[in-house]
Structure formats: C-alpha cells, structure tokens
C-alpha cells in the first residue's frame, strides 16, 4: 500500500504529516511485537565500559558477547540495578 | 581469549548506552571493584580487560527499511517474490514495508491521529483500539495455537 493510498483512505492531503505518523505507527508496532528483527555488532575495547546502543534499534531483545573459544555469540546477563561504584580508577 | 562469557560478562542499560562489565570471581582484584547485588559477595565487576573484534552483538527490533519502492505483498508478474529497495526520502508513491494487516493498522493509526487533532477523543480511542486489534490479528496469523483442557470424569457433556 502506498502512502497516497493511506492518505486517500484517511481523507487527508498532508503528505509530510502522514509519513511522520506512519513512522510513529511502525515504531509502536516494533515496540509491541518482534516484527522486524536485526543484529548489530561492534568491537569490544580493552578498558572501555560504555558502548552506544545502535541508533535505529527500538527494542533490545538480547546482548551477546563473542566467546572466542567456542566461536559463538552467547547471551550475557543483564544487571537490573545500577552498580554501586566503590572505587573506580579504571579497574581492570 | 574470552570463554564462559555467559557467566563472566554482564551489562547494564544506561540511557542510550550500555555499560559492559566482566565478572571477576577471584578476590585478588580487591582494589577498584564494583559490587552489585545480583552476584554473590565474592563476585566483583571490572571493566572489559580484553579487546575482541566484533565482540559485542545487539539483537532487537528496529527501523529496517520502513519505506520501499515496490509493493512488498504482491508477487511479480512471473510469480517471483518482490525484491524491494529502501526509499530513503519517502513520498506519496513510496510503499510501506509491512504486511497487509499491519498496513491497515497504520491506516487506523493515522485516522486516530487525525481525530486527535480535531479534538474528538472518543473517535481517537476507537481507532487506536482498531489499531491494536489489527496488530493482534497480524500476530495471531503467524501461529496456530491449539488449547486443550482436561475434562473432569463427572462433567456433563
């Protein structure tokens, strides 16, 4: 279905606004159901703690780390509570 | 070399970033450690202490080609699956890259937003309900659930 068909069905002629609302609805769909799943990978750097979540990722399903011994990505645990930093001088 | 990663790595989501930690079970790293209640008292969290190429993988739902150039729900003339290309700058001729039911749900969502702009909340609620109803229909179309219930020996039939 084209954007124009959606505009005709809803009786509006504001293209930009309809495209924005379609994007909103896709965002809502992707937040509710696992409709379109993707994977992104990035390098882990020695001594670096923070890694950005990919820009177009909507709902995080899992985060995995490469097990270089088994050559497989394995899901890692999520920490629910904010870690309490007792002394953080770049601990390694 | 990373091994036993499912037990020795953990993450915490902080805004648009994740904080990645390794779990150090030995007590030798007593200095500069971070403790969390999820792990035993012997476990301590440290920053990643090795570099792994392509070592971190995210999996999730995403904006993946929301608009495409041709209708994704119709076979081509030869009966082949359509090969779509993403449209980066969508206009009126662009196709929504969703299945038919979810595209109809989008129509309801746009209708709801139009009613919201008019200030008619009752109609907006109606269209939002239709939107979620179509989402549920689309999801149930993917699976066939069979529910069975045990019958009591004294049940009337």
Give me the pLDDT at residue B155, please: 75
How many helices, marked H, and strands, marked E, lie in chain B?
A: 3, 7
All residues of chain B having their beta carbon less than 8 Å from the beta carbon of residue A16 are none
C-alpha count within 13 angstroms, C-beta hemisphere, residue B60: 22
Q: Write out the residue range of the structural domain in which residue B74 sits.
A: 66-93
Strand partners, B100: none
pLDDT class for A47, splitting at 50, 70, 90? confident
* Confidence at residue B41, expressed as pLDDT on a 0 to 100 scale: 57
Q: How many helices (H) and strands (E) does chain A have?
A: 2, 6
Query: Number of structural domains, chain B?
Result: 3
B8-60 pLDDT tens trace: 899 999 889 999 988 876 555 444 455 555 565 566 788 888 899 999 999 99
Classify residue A24 by burial, with Cβ atoms within 10 Å: 0-12, 13-18, 19+: middle
- The ipTM is 0.82
Q: What is the pLDDT of residue B31?
A: 46
* CB-based contact, B83 to chain A, within 8 Å: no
Asked if B104 and A19 count as a contact pair (C-beta separation under 8 A), the reply is no
Per-residue pLDDT tens digits for B88-141: 899 999 999 999 999 999 999 999 999 999 999 999 999 999 999 999 998 888
* Chain B interface mutation, best of A47, A77, A78, A82, highest count of B Cβ atoms under 10 Å: A77
User: Could you give the percent of chain B with pLDDT greater than 70?
Assistant: 87
- pLDDT band at residue A75 using 50, 70 and 90 as cut-offs: very high
Average pLDDT, chain A: 88
Cα–Cα distance for residue pair A86/B9, rounded to 1 Å: 19
In a domain, B59, yes or no: no
Q: Find, in chain A, the residue whose alpha carbon is nearest to that of B62.
A: A57
Of B29, B60, B138, the CB nearest to A57: B60
How far is Cα A36 from Cα B35, in angstroms, rounded to an integer?
37
pLDDT tens for residues B50-62?
899 999 999 998 8
Domain-embedded: residue B148: no
Choose the mutation target among B35, B48, B58, B129 for the interface with A, i.e. most A CBs under 10 Å: B58
């Amino acid at each position: 279905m084209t954007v124009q068909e959606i505009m005709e069905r809803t009786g509006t002629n504001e293209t930009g606004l309809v495209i924005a609302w379609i994007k909103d609805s896709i965002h809502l769909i992707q937040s509710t159901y696992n409709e379109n799943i993707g994977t992104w990978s990035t390098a882990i750097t020695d001594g670096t703690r923070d890694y950005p979540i990919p820009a177009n990722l909507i709902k995080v399903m899992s985060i995995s780390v490469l097990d270089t011994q088994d050559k497989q990505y394995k899901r890692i645990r999520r920490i629910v509570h904010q870690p309490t930093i007792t002394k953080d001088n770049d601990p390694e | 070399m990373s091994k036993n990663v499912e037990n020795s790595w953990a993450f915490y989501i902080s805004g648009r970033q994740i904080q990645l930690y390794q779990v150090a079970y030995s007590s030798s790293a007593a200095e500069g450690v971070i403790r969390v209640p999820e792990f035993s008292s012997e476990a301590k969290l440290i920053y990643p202490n090795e570099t792994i190429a392509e070592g971190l993988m995210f999996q999730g739902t995403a904006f993946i080609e929301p608009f495409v150039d041709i209708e994704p729900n119709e076979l081509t003339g030869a009966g082949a699956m359509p090969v779509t290309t993403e449209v980066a700058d969508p206009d009126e001729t662009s196709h929504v890259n969703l299945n038919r039911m979810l595209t109809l749900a989008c129509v309801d969502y746009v209708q709801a937003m139009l009613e919201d702009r008019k200030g008619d909340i009752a109609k907006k609620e109606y269209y939002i309900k239709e939107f979620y109803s179509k989402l549920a229909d689309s999801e149930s179309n993917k699976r066939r659930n069979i529910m069975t219930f045990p019958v009591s020996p004294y049940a009337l039939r």
